[in-house]
Amino acid sequence: MKSYLAKAQEVERQWLLVDATDLVLGRMAARVAAILRGKHKSTFTPHVDTGDHVIIINADKIRVTSDKLLTKMKYHHSGRIGHLKERSLGHLMEKDPAETLRNVIKGMLPHTVLGRHMISKLKVYKGSEHPHSAQQPVEITETFRQ
C-alpha cells in the first residue's frame, strides 16, 4: 500500500467564510490555522500547501476569555539597548483588530516559506463586508460554535 502525496498542481481550494462574532480568539485561530494548512482534508501532505482560502469577518467582535485584554502583553524590540516595547492585547485589538487576529493565526502556522504562502490565503476584515463575494465563499461558522 502506497501513501498518497499531494502535488501542488492537483490541489483544489475552496473559499470559506468565518464570522468571528462572539468566538473565542485562541480556539478560532487554531481551527483557522488548521484549515489554512489543509489538515482538515484527507489529502493533507506536510510539505505541500493543501489548505483552503479563509475569509474572517467581524474581527472587532471577537471574544477573549479572562482578563487577557489587560494582562497579555506583546513585546517588540528594536535591537537597541533599552528599546523593548510592550503593548497589551487590548491596546492592539483597539488599534487594529484585523491585524492582531492575522498575527495570532500567523504564529500558529509553520515559520517557513510554506507558512508564508499559507498566510497569504487568509483575509481578515474588521466589519461584516468583504470584497470576495465573486469567489462564493461557504460559511463555516457553525462548526466553530462547539
At position 65, the amino acid (one-letter code) is T
Q: Name which residue leads in pLDDT, 141 or 47.
A: 47
Q: Which residues contact 44 (CB under 8 A, 6 or more apart)?
A: 6, 37, 38, 50
pLDDT band at 146 (very low <50, low <70, confident <90, very high): low
Residue carrying C-alpha cell 502583553: 73
Chain segment 62-116, per-residue pLDDT in tens = 999 999 999 999 999 999 999 999 999 999 999 999 999 999 999 999 999 999 9
pLDDT band at 145 (very low <50, low <70, confident <90, very high): confident
Measured distance CA(105)–CA(33) in Å, rounded: 6
Chain segment 10-60, per-residue pLDDT in tens = 999 999 999 999 999 999 999 999 999 999 999 999 999 999 999 999 999
CB atoms near residue 24 (< 10 Å): 14
Domains in the chain, CATH or no CATH each: 15-65+98-144 (3.90.1180.10)
Q: Do you know the residue count of the chain?
A: 146
Q: Which residues contact 146 (CB under 8 A, 6 or more apart)?
A: none
Measured distance CA(102)–CA(40) in Å, rounded: 20
What share of the chain in percent tops pLDDT 90?
Answer: 93
